[in-house]
Amino acid sequence: MSSESLHKAFREFGTHNFMIKEIDECDESEFESKTNYWIGKYTPEYNNIVIKEVPVPVVEVPKIIGPKKPKPEAFVPWNDAIRGTGKHFGYRIRGKNLETGKCSEYESARDAADAVTGNPKNNSNILLAARTGRTAYGHKWQIIEYKRIKRPVISVNKKTQQIDTRYESIAAALRAYECTDKNALLKSLKHPGRISWKGCYWFYSNQS
């Protein structure tokens, strides 16, 4: 006596309660895939065929490798070496030590800040004190001379990230590009490496 679940069902419920119906046609090459499909769709209770996984063919797409682009040299960083000495402000500063009464003169507020505080970046506080008549860092500050000093600028190509040209001053750079409005160039100099002008990033240079 057969132990197949379908045959057991025949015996239990009677063959008159079952019907054979054709649901698809296929040739021998499609038999396994069609069987898997219909069993997967209907999940029959009395079918003991083990569904075999049909492997999905993996199609490898060839990768087209073009010529390598030349790697640009590292972008010029914004640092104190490029920033310069700060003497472009053109202010000669005199500071009077409030404790000793000694007066000292400096070529720039940056030099004064470096000498008094050890940090040249404190120059803005000294300039503010000199302009408003206040004191800063234990000194009374005074502007004794304003000199219009030319400060060189350099352009760095935005695409190649290479230093392009060095100009002796902002005016020289404007003349080279036949421009009269310096606001856009000054904005680029104020935001080095972030805002460009004429396809270049602009930096102050401390090279004389």
Out of 1.10.3470, 1.10.10, 1.10.150, 1.10.101, select the CATH number for domain 91-146: 1.10.10
* Structural domain spans, the chain: 1-55, 91-146, 153-204
Would you place residue 48 in the very low, low, confident or very high pLDDT band (cuts 50, 70, 90)? Answer: low
Q: Is the pLDDT of residue 74 over 50?
A: no
Does residue 73 carry a pLDDT above 50? no
Give mean pLDDT, residues 173-187: 90
Handedness of CA 162, 168, 174, 178 (dihedral sign): negative
- Give per-residue pLDDT as tens, 82-132: 444 444 446 788 999 999 999 999 988 888 999 999 999 898 899 889 888
Environment class of 181 (CB within 10 Å of its CB; exposed 0-12, middle 13-18, buried 19+) = exposed
Neighbours of 58 (CB within 10 A): 5
> 33-42, 88-97, 114-123, 175-184: which has the minimum mean pLDDT?
88-97
C-alpha distances in Å from residue 8, one per residue of 12, 16, 41: 6, 14, 23
Q: Can you tell me the mean pLDDT for 184-189?
A: 91
